[in-house]
Amino acid sequence: MKPQKNNAPATKAIKRVIRNTQAHWVGDGFPVTTMFSYNAQGAEVSPFLMLDYAGPATFEPSDRPRGVEQHPHRGFETVTIVYDGEVEHSDNAGNSGKIGPGDVQWMTAGRGILHEEMHGRDFTARGGTLEMIQLWVNLPAKDKMTAPAYQEIISKDIPVVTLPDHAGTLRVIAGDYNGTTGSARTFTPINVFDMRLKAGGATTLSLPDGFTTMALILRGAVRVNGLKTLNSRDLALFDVAHEDISVEALEDSAILLLNGAPIDEPIAGYGPFVMNTQDEIRQALDDYRAGRF
Protein backbone atom coordinates (compact mmCIF):
# COMPACT_ATOMS: atom_id res chain seq x y z
CA MET A 1 0.00 0.00 0.00
CA LYS A 2 1.35 3.40 -0.97
CA PRO A 3 1.28 6.55 1.18
CA GLN A 4 -1.18 9.19 0.09
CA LYS A 5 0.10 11.74 -2.41
CA ASN A 6 -0.70 15.44 -2.65
CA ASN A 7 -1.35 15.07 -6.39
CA ALA A 8 -3.65 12.08 -5.93
CA PRO A 9 -4.07 9.77 -8.95
CA ALA A 10 -7.44 9.05 -10.47
CA THR A 11 -9.91 7.18 -8.30
CA LYS A 12 -10.87 3.55 -8.61
CA ALA A 13 -14.44 3.69 -9.89
CA ILE A 14 -17.14 1.37 -8.60
CA LYS A 15 -17.86 -1.19 -11.30
CA ARG A 16 -21.03 -2.38 -9.62
CA VAL A 17 -22.67 -3.00 -6.25
CA ILE A 18 -23.61 -6.54 -5.28
CA ARG A 19 -26.59 -6.97 -2.98
CA ASN A 20 -27.48 -10.50 -1.96
CA THR A 21 -30.11 -11.07 0.70
CA GLN A 22 -30.65 -14.80 0.12
CA ALA A 23 -29.38 -16.64 3.20
CA HIS A 24 -28.70 -20.35 3.62
CA TRP A 25 -27.39 -22.54 6.43
CA VAL A 26 -23.90 -24.01 6.59
CA GLY A 27 -24.23 -26.89 9.03
CA ASP A 28 -26.59 -26.01 11.87
CA GLY A 29 -24.51 -23.13 13.25
CA PHE A 30 -23.96 -20.60 10.48
CA PRO A 31 -26.80 -18.81 8.68
CA VAL A 32 -24.82 -17.19 5.84
CA THR A 33 -25.26 -14.92 2.85
CA THR A 34 -22.79 -15.49 0.03
CA MET A 35 -21.72 -11.99 -0.99
CA PHE A 36 -19.60 -13.11 -3.95
CA SER A 37 -18.17 -16.31 -5.40
CA TYR A 38 -15.95 -17.42 -8.25
CA ASN A 39 -18.96 -19.29 -9.63
CA ALA A 40 -20.97 -16.07 -9.95
CA GLN A 41 -18.32 -13.39 -10.50
CA GLY A 42 -15.48 -15.46 -12.00
CA ALA A 43 -12.07 -13.89 -12.51
CA GLU A 44 -13.37 -10.46 -11.42
CA VAL A 45 -12.88 -11.42 -7.76
CA SER A 46 -9.48 -13.16 -8.11
CA PRO A 47 -7.44 -13.83 -5.94
CA PHE A 48 -10.51 -14.15 -3.73
CA LEU A 49 -12.92 -17.03 -4.30
CA MET A 50 -15.90 -16.54 -2.02
CA LEU A 51 -17.16 -14.54 0.94
CA ASP A 52 -19.86 -15.79 3.30
CA TYR A 53 -21.29 -13.31 5.81
CA ALA A 54 -22.80 -15.15 8.79
CA GLY A 55 -25.35 -13.41 10.96
CA PRO A 56 -25.84 -11.40 12.95
CA ALA A 57 -27.94 -14.22 14.39
CA THR A 58 -29.03 -14.95 17.94
CA PHE A 59 -28.70 -18.46 19.37
CA GLU A 60 -30.35 -19.73 22.51
CA PRO A 61 -28.24 -21.51 25.14
CA SER A 62 -27.66 -25.18 24.37
CA ASP A 63 -25.81 -28.18 25.76
CA ARG A 64 -24.75 -29.25 22.25
CA PRO A 65 -22.39 -27.12 20.14
CA ARG A 66 -23.72 -26.14 16.73
CA GLY A 67 -21.58 -25.76 13.65
CA VAL A 68 -20.05 -27.71 10.78
CA GLU A 69 -18.63 -31.14 11.55
CA GLN A 70 -15.47 -32.52 9.94
CA HIS A 71 -15.18 -31.77 6.22
CA PRO A 72 -12.33 -31.52 3.67
CA HIS A 73 -10.65 -28.68 1.76
CA ARG A 74 -7.90 -28.57 -0.85
CA GLY A 75 -6.26 -25.90 -2.99
CA PHE A 76 -7.01 -22.63 -1.18
CA GLU A 77 -7.15 -20.83 2.18
CA THR A 78 -10.04 -19.98 4.50
CA VAL A 79 -10.03 -16.75 6.49
CA THR A 80 -12.50 -16.49 9.37
CA ILE A 81 -13.05 -13.10 11.02
CA VAL A 82 -15.24 -13.05 14.13
CA TYR A 83 -17.12 -9.88 15.02
CA ASP A 84 -19.37 -11.36 17.71
CA GLY A 85 -19.61 -14.80 19.32
CA GLU A 86 -17.03 -17.59 19.39
CA VAL A 87 -15.86 -20.28 16.96
CA GLU A 88 -13.74 -23.32 17.80
CA HIS A 89 -11.56 -25.01 15.19
CA SER A 90 -9.89 -28.42 15.09
CA ASP A 91 -8.26 -30.28 12.21
CA ASN A 92 -6.46 -33.51 11.40
CA ALA A 93 -3.11 -31.69 11.27
CA GLY A 94 -3.32 -31.33 15.05
CA ASN A 95 -4.34 -27.65 15.15
CA SER A 96 -7.10 -26.43 17.42
CA GLY A 97 -8.16 -23.16 18.94
CA LYS A 98 -10.96 -20.76 19.80
CA ILE A 99 -11.44 -17.32 18.29
CA GLY A 100 -13.73 -14.60 19.58
CA PRO A 101 -14.61 -10.98 18.75
CA GLY A 102 -11.83 -9.33 16.76
CA ASP A 103 -9.86 -12.54 16.24
CA VAL A 104 -8.96 -14.11 12.89
CA GLN A 105 -8.25 -17.67 11.81
CA TRP A 106 -6.25 -18.08 8.60
CA MET A 107 -6.15 -21.71 7.49
CA THR A 108 -4.15 -22.98 4.52
CA ALA A 109 -5.82 -26.14 3.22
CA GLY A 110 -3.05 -26.68 0.66
CA ARG A 111 -2.79 -30.31 -0.42
CA GLY A 112 -5.63 -31.33 1.86
CA ILE A 113 -7.02 -30.95 5.35
CA LEU A 114 -10.02 -32.17 7.35
CA HIS A 115 -11.41 -29.71 9.87
CA GLU A 116 -14.49 -28.77 11.82
CA GLU A 117 -15.86 -25.37 12.84
CA MET A 118 -18.20 -25.24 15.81
CA HIS A 119 -19.60 -22.64 18.13
CA GLY A 120 -17.35 -22.18 21.17
CA ARG A 121 -18.42 -24.27 24.15
CA ASP A 122 -18.79 -21.25 26.44
CA PHE A 123 -20.77 -19.40 23.78
CA THR A 124 -22.97 -22.48 23.28
CA ALA A 125 -23.75 -22.67 26.98
CA ARG A 126 -24.66 -19.02 27.43
CA GLY A 127 -26.11 -18.29 23.96
CA GLY A 128 -25.83 -14.95 22.24
CA THR A 129 -25.19 -13.23 18.94
CA LEU A 130 -22.92 -14.67 16.27
CA GLU A 131 -21.51 -12.50 13.50
CA MET A 132 -18.56 -13.52 11.36
CA ILE A 133 -17.05 -13.56 7.89
CA GLN A 134 -15.51 -16.50 6.08
CA LEU A 135 -13.40 -15.57 3.09
CA TRP A 136 -11.87 -18.07 0.66
CA VAL A 137 -8.52 -17.02 -0.84
CA ASN A 138 -7.12 -18.84 -3.86
CA LEU A 139 -3.63 -20.30 -4.03
CA PRO A 140 -1.55 -20.13 -7.22
CA ALA A 141 -0.97 -23.45 -8.99
CA LYS A 142 2.57 -23.76 -7.64
CA ASP A 143 1.29 -23.60 -4.05
CA LYS A 144 -1.96 -25.58 -4.23
CA MET A 145 -0.29 -28.71 -2.90
CA THR A 146 1.64 -26.94 -0.14
CA ALA A 147 1.55 -28.39 3.37
CA PRO A 148 -1.55 -27.44 5.39
CA ALA A 149 -1.03 -24.65 7.92
CA TYR A 150 -2.97 -22.70 10.53
CA GLN A 151 -2.60 -19.13 11.75
CA GLU A 152 -4.57 -18.09 14.82
CA ILE A 153 -4.38 -14.30 14.92
CA ILE A 154 -5.64 -12.84 18.18
CA SER A 155 -7.13 -9.35 18.13
CA LYS A 156 -4.37 -7.84 20.30
CA ASP A 157 -1.79 -8.96 17.71
CA ILE A 158 -3.50 -7.17 14.80
CA PRO A 159 -1.99 -3.71 14.20
CA VAL A 160 -4.47 -0.83 14.55
CA VAL A 161 -3.87 2.47 12.74
CA THR A 162 -5.62 5.70 13.69
CA LEU A 163 -6.79 7.35 10.47
CA PRO A 164 -5.94 11.00 9.72
CA ASP A 165 -8.09 13.65 11.43
CA HIS A 166 -9.29 10.92 13.83
CA ALA A 167 -11.78 9.75 11.20
CA GLY A 168 -11.65 6.25 12.67
CA THR A 169 -9.39 3.23 12.83
CA LEU A 170 -8.09 0.59 10.45
CA ARG A 171 -6.95 -2.90 11.50
CA VAL A 172 -4.34 -4.39 9.18
CA ILE A 173 -5.20 -8.09 9.12
CA ALA A 174 -3.05 -8.77 6.06
CA GLY A 175 -0.89 -6.71 3.74
CA ASP A 176 0.39 -3.20 4.31
CA TYR A 177 -1.17 0.16 5.14
CA ASN A 178 1.27 3.07 4.84
CA GLY A 179 4.11 0.99 6.27
CA THR A 180 2.08 -0.88 8.90
CA THR A 181 2.25 -4.59 8.11
CA GLY A 182 -0.53 -7.03 8.91
CA SER A 183 -0.15 -10.16 11.01
CA ALA A 184 -1.20 -12.76 8.42
CA ARG A 185 1.26 -14.52 6.13
CA THR A 186 -0.02 -14.74 2.55
CA PHE A 187 1.13 -16.53 -0.61
CA THR A 188 0.27 -13.65 -2.96
CA PRO A 189 0.02 -9.88 -2.41
CA ILE A 190 -3.19 -9.30 -0.43
CA ASN A 191 -4.52 -6.49 1.75
CA VAL A 192 -7.33 -7.23 4.22
CA PHE A 193 -8.39 -4.16 6.20
CA ASP A 194 -11.05 -3.94 8.92
CA MET A 195 -12.13 -0.28 9.05
CA ARG A 196 -14.23 1.66 11.52
CA LEU A 197 -15.25 5.20 10.54
CA LYS A 198 -17.00 7.69 12.81
CA ALA A 199 -20.01 9.57 11.49
CA GLY A 200 -18.66 12.43 9.41
CA GLY A 201 -15.20 10.88 9.23
CA ALA A 202 -13.51 10.66 5.83
CA THR A 203 -10.35 9.03 4.53
CA THR A 204 -8.63 8.25 1.23
CA LEU A 205 -7.02 4.88 0.65
CA SER A 206 -4.26 4.53 -1.94
CA LEU A 207 -4.30 0.98 -3.29
CA PRO A 208 -2.22 -0.76 -5.96
CA ASP A 209 -3.21 -0.14 -9.56
CA GLY A 210 -4.27 -3.41 -11.21
CA PHE A 211 -5.40 -5.12 -7.98
CA THR A 212 -8.90 -6.51 -7.45
CA THR A 213 -10.65 -4.35 -4.83
CA MET A 214 -13.91 -4.90 -2.95
CA ALA A 215 -15.53 -3.21 0.04
CA LEU A 216 -18.28 -4.81 2.15
CA ILE A 217 -20.30 -2.44 4.33
CA LEU A 218 -20.98 -4.43 7.49
CA ARG A 219 -22.93 -1.65 9.18
CA GLY A 220 -23.65 2.03 8.69
CA ALA A 221 -23.64 4.02 5.46
CA VAL A 222 -20.78 5.58 3.49
CA ARG A 223 -20.30 7.76 0.42
CA VAL A 224 -17.56 6.51 -1.92
CA ASN A 225 -15.58 8.83 -4.18
CA GLY A 226 -18.08 11.57 -3.37
CA LEU A 227 -20.62 9.93 -5.66
CA LYS A 228 -22.10 6.61 -4.54
CA THR A 229 -23.82 5.87 -1.24
CA LEU A 230 -23.40 2.34 0.09
CA ASN A 231 -25.50 0.93 2.89
CA SER A 232 -25.24 -2.02 5.25
CA ARG A 233 -24.66 -5.34 3.42
CA ASP A 234 -23.73 -3.65 0.15
CA LEU A 235 -20.58 -4.99 -1.51
CA ALA A 236 -18.81 -2.68 -3.97
CA LEU A 237 -16.62 -4.19 -6.69
CA PHE A 238 -14.16 -1.62 -8.07
CA ASP A 239 -12.40 -1.30 -11.41
CA VAL A 240 -8.80 -2.51 -11.17
CA ALA A 241 -7.45 0.65 -12.81
CA HIS A 242 -6.15 3.60 -10.77
CA GLU A 243 -5.35 3.81 -7.08
CA ASP A 244 -7.39 6.06 -4.79
CA ILE A 245 -10.69 5.39 -3.04
CA SER A 246 -12.23 8.07 -0.86
CA VAL A 247 -14.72 7.05 1.82
CA GLU A 248 -16.91 9.34 3.94
CA ALA A 249 -19.05 7.90 6.73
CA LEU A 250 -22.62 9.19 6.82
CA GLU A 251 -23.04 7.40 10.15
CA ASP A 252 -20.83 5.21 12.32
CA SER A 253 -19.72 2.50 9.89
CA ALA A 254 -17.77 -0.76 9.71
CA ILE A 255 -16.16 -1.78 6.41
CA LEU A 256 -14.20 -4.84 5.32
CA LEU A 257 -11.86 -3.92 2.47
CA LEU A 258 -10.28 -6.63 0.29
CA ASN A 259 -7.52 -5.89 -2.20
CA GLY A 260 -5.26 -8.37 -3.97
CA ALA A 261 -3.21 -9.20 -7.05
CA PRO A 262 -5.31 -11.30 -9.44
CA ILE A 263 -4.13 -14.87 -10.08
CA ASP A 264 -4.35 -15.29 -13.86
CA GLU A 265 -4.87 -19.06 -13.89
CA PRO A 266 -7.80 -21.39 -14.69
CA ILE A 267 -10.13 -22.31 -11.83
CA ALA A 268 -11.77 -25.71 -11.45
CA GLY A 269 -13.94 -26.04 -8.39
CA TYR A 270 -16.07 -28.74 -6.83
CA GLY A 271 -17.54 -28.05 -3.39
CA PRO A 272 -14.65 -27.81 -0.91
CA PHE A 273 -11.95 -28.31 -3.57
CA VAL A 274 -10.59 -25.52 -5.80
CA MET A 275 -7.89 -26.50 -8.26
CA ASN A 276 -6.85 -25.59 -11.84
CA THR A 277 -8.14 -28.59 -13.82
CA GLN A 278 -10.90 -31.17 -13.64
CA ASP A 279 -8.24 -33.90 -13.49
CA GLU A 280 -6.94 -32.30 -10.28
CA ILE A 281 -10.48 -32.22 -8.88
CA ARG A 282 -10.89 -35.93 -9.63
CA GLN A 283 -7.54 -36.58 -7.92
CA ALA A 284 -8.69 -34.59 -4.88
CA LEU A 285 -11.84 -36.71 -4.63
CA ASP A 286 -9.83 -39.92 -4.98
CA ASP A 287 -7.32 -38.79 -2.33
CA TYR A 288 -10.10 -37.76 0.08
CA ARG A 289 -12.01 -41.03 -0.33
CA ALA A 290 -8.80 -43.02 0.13
CA GLY A 291 -7.96 -41.19 3.37
CA ARG A 292 -4.87 -39.46 1.97
CA PHE A 293 -5.71 -35.99 3.32
Higher pLDDT, 247 or 96: 247
Query: ∠ CA 189-249-202 to the nearest 5 degrees?
Result: 70
CA distances 61 to 27, 120, 131, 245, 266, Å, are 17, 12, 16, 43, 45
Residue 133, pLDDT score: 97
Residue 21, pLDDT score: 81
Compute how many other C-beta atoms are within 10 angstroms of the C-beta atom of residue 5: 11
Q: What is the DSSP string of 98-128?
A: EE-TT-EEEEE-TT-EEEEEEE-HHHHHH-E
Report H helices in the chain.
38-41, 121-126, 278-289
User: Residue 76 class from Cβ within 10 Å (0-12 exposed, 13-18 middle, 19+ buried)?
Assistant: buried
pTM of the shown model: 0.94
pLDDT band at 157 (very low <50, low <70, confident <90, very high): very high
**pLDDT over threshold 90, residue 83:** yes
Pairwise CA distance, residues 124 & 143, whole Å: 37
Residue 66, pLDDT score: 96
Mean pLDDT of the chain: 95
**What integer is the mean pLDDT of 243-255?**
97
**What integer is the mean pLDDT of 51-72?**
95
Residue 3, pLDDT score: 44
**pLDDT over threshold 60, residue 126:** yes
Query: ∠ CA 230-133-99 to the nearest 5 degrees?
Result: 140
DSSP type of residue 11:
B
Query: pLDDT digit string (tens) for 184-217?
Result: 999 999 999 999 999 999 999 999 999 999 999 9
**pLDDT over threshold 60, residue 158:** yes
Percent of the chain, pLDDT > 90? 92
**pLDDT over threshold 70, residue 4:** no
Question: Are residues 144 and 187 in contact, defined by beta-carbon separation less than 8 angstroms?
Answer: no
Residue 7, pLDDT score: 55
**pLDDT over threshold 80, residue 1:** no
